[in-house]
């Protein structure tokens, strides 16, 4: 009989802390490098540390709270704020502007300092990652005001994707809403969300963006939100059934002959509540 390799004793700490809403995995790795995270009183030196849960972990000396049910907020990010928890240049951040009674949250992607509009915030790092992955195909929709001249014909090639300075950008849907004396308003939809993608692809066809507002991210819309206004989304399982049905999918993958409690009762007991 062949010995089975030992199973990993837990998960990487960055993944656990992202799921707990402390920060994104990359940000957690930076926090470890800065000596801000400890386990059982010992400052961590590597993000490869494996843990089973957040017990005994502190960030800046503060214990990490138990993971709560996933929550998601829509936030209208105004121009002039950076989407980071700490900015080395001392610029104002999104997270400094949030209400004091907000739990620790991470952003779903980013908006650069000169962009505004819909920014999704969540206390669940796993949910943030799910929404960010290009493979899941979430549309990001923007309204862009740009200077220059363009027609439907000049914008059409963007639909097939473009390469700019060695970087390949996926399909971009761009439609002109108004065009007056060289100033255009366009609706632009992308799926990847690379750094400054909308600005770069429009510049590629001769347009200079001077205002950029994100109005949609997947099933979530900016709607009537005003700058710095925040609104929590309810019934997340209705908007994101693929994410919240993952535990049930795992249950179905159990090998044939698995003996356990009644399946319906088991699923009802463990169904994630929002």
The answer to whether residue 112 is catalytic is yes
Report in angstroms the alpha-carbon separations of 167 from 35, 161, 209, 232.
34, 11, 19, 36
Q: Which of 60, 112, 139, 177 is catalytic?
A: 112
Contacts of 28 (CB under 8 A, 6+ apart): 13, 14, 17, 18, 22, 37, 47
Assign 261 to helix, strand or coil. coil
Q: How far apart are CA 143 and CA 74, in angstroms?
A: 17
Q: Write the DSSP assignment of 156-195 as a string of letters.
A: GGGGG-EEETTEEE---EEEEEEEETTEEEEEEEESS--T
**Element (DSSP H or E) covering residue 242:** helix 241-244
Active site residues: 112
């Amino acid at each position: 009989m062949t010995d089975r390799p030992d199973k990993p004793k837990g998960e990487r700490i960055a993944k656990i802390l992202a799921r707990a809403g402390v920060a994104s995995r990359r940000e957690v790795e930076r926090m470890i490098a800065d000596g801000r995270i400890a386990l059982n009183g010992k400052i961590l030196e590597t993000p490869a540390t494996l843990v089973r849960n957040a017990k005994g972990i502190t960030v800046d000396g503060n214990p990490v709270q138990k993971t709560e049910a996933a929550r998601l907020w829509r936030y209208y990010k105004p121009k002039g704020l950076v989407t980071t928890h700490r900015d080395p240049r001392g610029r104002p951040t999104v997270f400094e502007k949030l209400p004091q009674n907000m739990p620790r949250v991470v952003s779903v992607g980013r908006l650069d300092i000169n962009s505004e509009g819909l920014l999704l915030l969540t206390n669940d790092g796993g949910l943030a990652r799910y929404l960010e992955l290009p493979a899941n195909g979430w549309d990001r929709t923007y309204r862009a005001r740009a200077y220059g001249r363009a027609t439907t014909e000049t914008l059409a090639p963007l639909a097939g994707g473009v390469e700019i300075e060695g970087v390949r950008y996926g399909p971009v849907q761009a439609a002109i809403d108004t065009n007056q004396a060289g100033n255009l308003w366009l609706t632009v939809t992308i799926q990847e969300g690379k750094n400054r993608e909308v600005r770069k692809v429009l510049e590629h066809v001769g347009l200079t963006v001077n205002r950029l507002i994100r109005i949609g991210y997947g099933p979530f819309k900016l709607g009537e939100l005003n700058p710095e206004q925040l609104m929590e989304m309810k019934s997340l399982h209705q908007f994101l059934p693929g994410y919240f049905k993952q535990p049930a999918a795992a249950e179905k993958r159990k090998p044939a002959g698995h003996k356990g409690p009644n399946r319906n009762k088991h699923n009802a007991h463990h169904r994630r509540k929002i």
